Amino acid sequence: MKILTQKNTKLLNLSILLLRCMVGVILFAAGAGKVLGWFGGFGMKMTIQYYSMWGISVPFTYLSSFTEFIGGFLLIVGFLTRPAAFAIMINMLVATILTMPKGFLVGGASYPFSLTVSAIIILLAGPMAYSIDAWLLNRNRNQPLII
């Protein structure tokens, strides 16, 4: 019964690591496609044209694309995790609001909504033990990294 009722810190650390990596990889790949044309993306020029059809200005297109690209990478490695999660949460919330008129499931708003909720979870939980943030914090305190 202990496994069902008690907190397991190691599994919690691993769970947040998996969530960070999943969200980070998805957003890094999407952002890299928008910014650099990687992973089958169209690059920045086409991204600007697509976003302009939605009424999104060029500065906000750059902000959104680089938030996904850089923020995704930061989540994967666990560096500046909470600020990155906050920026991603705002970015994905805007994406949810923009896609909601098309429909939640069929129109695709469920995808950015799930990333919004995941970013909120990461923001609230923090990077946990398996992250550069934890390593730097423990290094500054001269304590061994607890895994």
Q: Which pLDDT does position 54 carry in this prediction? A: 87
Structure tokens at 46: 């086409």
Q: Which pLDDT does position 145 carry in this prediction? A: 53
The whole-model pTM stands at: 0.87
Q: Which pLDDT does position 9 carry in this prediction? A: 87
Which candidate, 53, 57, 55, 37, places its Cα nearest to that of 45? 37
Distances in Å between the Cα of 132 and the Cα atoms of 7, 45, 106, 116, 121 are 23, 33, 38, 23, 18
Distances in Å between the Cα of 87 and the Cα atoms of 35, 66, 68, 100 are 17, 10, 9, 20
Identify the residue whose tokens are 């909504």. 113
- Sorted by where each begins, the domain ranges of the chain are 10-140
CB 28 within 8 A of CB 68: yes
Choose between 108 and 114: higher pLDDT: 114
pLDDT one-digit tens code per residue, 8-65:
888 899 999 999 999 999 999 999 999 999 998 899 999 999 999 989 999 999 999 9
**Euclidean distance between CA atoms 23 and 73, whole angstroms:** 10
Q: Which pLDDT does position 143 carry in this prediction? A: 58
Q: Which pLDDT does position 8 carry in this prediction? A: 85
pLDDT at 142 over 70: no
Measured at the CA of 146, the angle between CA 115 and CA 2, to 5 degrees, comes to 75
φ, ψ of residue 145 in degrees (nearest 5): -70, 125
Neighbours of 13 (CB within 10 A): 19
pLDDT one-digit tens code per residue, 83-112:
999 999 999 999 999 999 888 988 889 999
**Euclidean distance between CA atoms 66 and 59, whole angstroms:** 11
